């Protein structure tokens, strides 16, 4: 028998690890049960849309910002926390091929010339001078990107943006970038697949309900940026 020692193949620290995992799963179960109870009694559904911690609230605040408060300098620990969400995400075959290069203010000049914002609003020449983001996360892939890489990428990008919103920040996914120039300027070991700008948003953005066949283009009027979103009835395939 094992007596007072640990079972074969387990050290004290790995036992502690198992206990930690066990504790987390128990906590998670309680959380889910509690949420289901609240949802059943309808208060969960109501609080989810109104509560400031609810997912719908975070999603509504998670707008694509193309103008930032230049006096707010994003710190390395904030980018690290945002990147940290990736340790909890789904990934095709759990390969976890994405890598993240944080860029803060002193290096922002190595990114800004190689990204383009607001192609749908050429007349505004975004970002407006003085409102450029000063922090970025350059997402790279360790492999030649395939379909599953882009699914991983979407999960990662949205999770990081939601974490940013939870911290009072905003962001923008940027796929319109010059990858080779970014590799050179930042000495990246991998090809970038997405640039995410992070900062304190300084734009007034509103969502507008539209039908499936309406114009999807975002637009600006009287200083407000409007983003049309197709209503749920038209998203569901009947
Ligand atoms: C994969 C992806 C790539 C994008 N690339 C750019 C880009 O290169 N430049 C830009 O200004 N916006 C870019 N956007 C932001 C979209 O234009 C934005 O999501 C859309 O206008 C809807 O606005 P919303 O994010 O506030 O809902 C991108 C968004 C996604 C999801």
Q: Ligand 1 atom 7: the closest Cα is on which residue? A: 174
What pLDDT is recorded for position 50? 59
* Whether this model's pTM surpasses 0.85: yes
The band of 2, judged by pLDDT with boundaries at 50, 70 and 90, is very low
Q: What tens digit of pLDDT does each residue of 185-201 get?
A: 999 999 999 999 999 99
Q: What tens digit of pLDDT does each residue of 63-109 get?
A: 999 999 999 999 999 999 999 999 999 999 999 999 999 999 999 99
In testing the pocket of ligand 1, which one of 62, 67, 171, 174 has its CB within 8 Å of the most ligand atoms? 174
How many Cβ atoms are within 10 Å of 95's Cβ, its own excluded? 12
Q: What tens digit of pLDDT does each residue of 135-189 get?
A: 999 999 999 999 999 999 999 999 999 999 999 999 999 999 999 999 999 999 9
pLDDT of residue 133 exceeding 50? yes
Q: Ligand 1 atom 13: the closest Cα is on which residue? A: 174
Q: Is 139 in the pocket of ligand 1 (CB under 6 A)?
A: no
d(CA 63, CA 132): 16
């Amino acid at each position: 028998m094992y007596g007072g020692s640990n079972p074969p193949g387990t050290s004290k620290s790995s036992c502690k690890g198992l206990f930690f995992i066990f504790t987390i799963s128990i906590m998670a179960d309680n959380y889910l049960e509690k949420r289901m109870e609240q949802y059943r009694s309808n208060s969960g559904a109501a609080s989810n849309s109104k509560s400031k911690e609810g997912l719908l609230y975070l999603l509504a605040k998670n707008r694509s910002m193309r103008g930032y408060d230049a006096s707010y300098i994003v710190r390395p620990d904030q980018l690290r926390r945002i990147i940290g969400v990736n340790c909890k995400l789904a990934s095709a075959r759990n390969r976890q091929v994405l890598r993240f290069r944080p860029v803060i203010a002193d290096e922002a000049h190595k990114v800004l010339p190689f990204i383009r914002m607001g192609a749908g609003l050429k007349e505004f020449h975004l970002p407006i001078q003085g409102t450029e983001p000063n922090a970025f996360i350059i997402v790279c892939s360790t492999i030649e990107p395939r379909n599953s890489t882009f699914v991983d990428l979407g999960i990662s990008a949205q999770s990081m943006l939601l974490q940013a919103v939870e911290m009072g920040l905003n962001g923008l996914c940027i796929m319109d970038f010059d990858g080779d120039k970014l590799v050179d300027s930042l000495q990246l070991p991998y090809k970038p697949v997405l640039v995410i700008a992070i900062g304190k948003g300084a734009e007034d953005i509103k969502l507008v309900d539209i039908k499936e066949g309406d114009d999807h283009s975002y637009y600006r009027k009287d200083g407000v940026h409007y983003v049309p979103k197709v209503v749920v009835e038209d998203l569901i395939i009947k």
